[in-house]
Amino acid sequence: MFDIDNIRNDFPILKQIVNEKPLIYFDSGATSQKPQVVIDSLKHFYTNSNSNVHRGIHTLGDRATIAYENSRNKLANFINAQAKEIVWTKGATESLNLLAHGLSNILKPGDVILISALEHHANIVPWQQLCANTGAILKVIPLDESSQAIELNTAQQLIDLHKPKILSISHASNALGNIQPITDIIKYSKKYKTVTVIDGAQAFMHLRPDMITLDCDFYVFSAHKALGPTGLGGLYGKYEQLNALPVYQTGGEMIKSVSFEETVFAQAPGKFEAGTPNISGVIAFGCAIDYMNKIDFSEQKAYENELFVYLQQQLENISGIELYGDLVQNIGTISFNYKKEHPFDIATLLDQYGIAVRVGSHCTQPLMKSLNIDGTVRISLAFYNTKNEIQQFITHLKQCLSLLD
Ligand code: PMP
């Protein structure tokens, strides 16, 4: 049985009182909360093992290196990949920049990079820059007006039309929660040997992606959206393709040998990890993965879905509320507006009740434009939320809306 009381006990921040009310944290899409084991791991590292990795002959150096590489193994097992296929980065943003930089040599002027209308700015701007530098053209799979989702057949038509060199699409939308039909899209784009990049920042914790099943070339994510510390993320790449990418940043750690005449780079993943990495973060993220592994995934999914359906029904019962996005294939994120009220006003009032939601354009300005809105109020749930929190939220939301009417 999915034991929500035990789970909540593992997240100390959830016990907090905010504005004299128990915190209701509905902003896990921005960053997830961290279980005690992750917090303890950071303290434990600096108390007992603090040392640099891949350098020391001494005991602490060894300890740090073993724990650091062990986290890579844990992540590899978690996503069904090999450790050498995983690069630690600062986050999904850095992983996407690394790819946009590294894939420049496969492009010539006129080649197409295909993305979707639901992308976060982190999966738009690096490709735009790459187009500006190479003469490639950015094309977008549009949002279907009625479903407010990317339709597979539209994606397939555009893949046939453009034969893109690169396709970069989110596994799940941060603004609307839509789970995108990426497995079919990846499969279809093999027809043209398109390099497939998946932005898994939102999906990672909710969907636990499997690299063999997905069969994409690259997958990026952020640790902080999956119970881990901030300032850390990852890039998965099929080894041959990963290793073939040119180096991104240069300096110490990423080399095999250096003379004043010439440098020989290390093989992947080392060649993409220049400088001292986020050692404590990587080790703590290993603990986050252990934590996720202890939760039965099918129970987690069922529980998250129950919360989502309940929230959706409750919101639909409030007249004047408009919900956006795919409300069936969804990671547990709902965006809404109330009449013509500014989302910011709603969130400010909710904060008085200790309720944390996100408002604005969610770093998806082009998506907001497609929806003809400036922004939304976004609730992004996680498995540590409860039905009771949703009830509290709905009660207070109604109070807030009555003040605005
Ligand atoms: N892609 C998506 C879908 C996201 O939600 C985010 C973060 N909101 C990012 C990329 C960027 O992640 P980070 O800020 O951790 O680099």
Ligand 1 pocket mutation, candidates 28, 168, 174, criterion most atoms within 8 A of CB: 174
Query: Are residue 194 and residue 228 in the same domain, yes or no?
Result: yes
Would you state the pLDDT for residue 154?
98
Structural domain harbouring 341: 4-26+296-404
How far is CA 322 from its chain centroid? 25
Please tell me whether the peptide bond between 35 and the residue prior to it is cis, using omega within 30 degrees of 0: no
Query: Are residue 269 and residue 373 in the same domain, yes or no?
Result: no
Which conformational region is residue 357 in: left (phi greater than 0), alpha (psi within -120 to 50 degrees), or beta? beta
Cβ-proximal residues to 50 (8 Å cutoff; 6+ apart), any chain: 60, 64, 280
Put the strands of the sheet holding 218-222 in their side by side order. 86-89, 233-237, 218-222, 195-199, 166-170, 112-116, 137-141
Q: Please report whether residue 187 resides in a domain.
A: yes
Ligand 1 pocket mutation, candidates 118, 170, 363, 364, criterion most atoms within 8 A of CB: 363
Q: Please report whether residue 118 resides in a domain.
A: yes
**Distance spanning both ends of the chain, measured CA to CA:** 43
Query: Are residue 109 and residue 244 in the same domain, yes or no?
Result: yes
Would you state the pLDDT for residue 253?
85
Cβ-proximal residues to 14 (8 Å cutoff; 6+ apart), any chain: 8, 23, 25, 33, 384
Helix axes 297-316, 387-404, angle to 10 degrees: 20
Query: Are residue 166 and residue 256 in the same domain, yes or no?
Result: yes
Give the residue from 264, 293, 322 where a domain finishes: 293
Query: Are residue 109 and residue 258 in the same domain, yes or no?
Result: yes
Count of domains observed in the chain: 2
Give the residue from 277, 293, 309 where a domain finishes: 293
Catalytic residue among 131, 216, 287, 363, which?
363
Query: Are residue 132 and residue 237 in the same domain, yes or no?
Result: yes
177 burial (CB, 10 Å; 0-12 / 13-18 / 19+) is buried
Would you state the pLDDT for residue 56?
72
Query: Are residue 377 and residue 360 in the same domain, yes or no?
Result: yes
Q: Please report whether residue 228 resides in a domain.
A: yes
Would you state the pLDDT for residue 252?
87
- The answer to whether the CB of 347 falls within 8 A of the CB of 360 is no
Task: Give which of 172, 154, 215 is closest to 190, Cα–Cα.
Answer: 215
Query: Are residue 315 and residue 176 in the same domain, yes or no?
Result: no
Q: Write out the two tokens for 141.
A: 């799979």
User: Tens of pLDDT along 18-50?
Assistant: 999 999 999 999 999 999 999 999 999 999 999
CB of 178 sitting under 6 A from ligand 1: no
Query: Are residue 187 and residue 329 in the same domain, yes or no?
Result: no
Q: Please report whether residue 33 resides in a domain.
A: no
How far, in Å, CA of 26 to CA of 143, rounded? 26
Would you state the pLDDT for residue 405?
84
Q: Which residues of the chain have pLDDT under 50?
A: none
How far, in Å, CA of 75 to CA of 252, rounded? 24
Looking up residue 45, the CATH number of its domain turns out to be: 3.40.640.10
Give the residue from 275, 293, 311 where a domain finishes: 293
Task: Give which of 278, 171, 293 is closest to 227, Cα–Cα.
Answer: 293
Query: Are residue 353 and residue 278 in the same domain, yes or no?
Result: no
Q: Please report whether residue 31 resides in a domain.
A: no
**Chain length of the chain:** 405
Q: Please report whether residue 36 resides in a domain.
A: no
Would you state the pLDDT for residue 233?
98
Return the sign of the alpha-carbon dihedral for residues 46, 98, 128, 168: negative
* Element of type H or E holding 5: helix 4-9
Q: Please report whether residue 160 resides in a domain.
A: yes
Instruction: Note if 363 is an active site residue.
Output: yes
Q: Please report whether residue 63 resides in a domain.
A: yes
Q: How far is the CA of 373 from the centre of ligand 1 (A)?
A: 21
Would you state the pLDDT for residue 57?
83
Q: Write out the two tokens for 38.
A: 């992750």
Looking up residue 383, the CATH number of its domain turns out to be: 3.90.1150.10
Q: Which atom of ligand 1 is nearest to the CA of 170?
A: 3
Query: Which residue type occupies 312?
Result: Q
CB of 169 sitting under 6 A from ligand 1: no
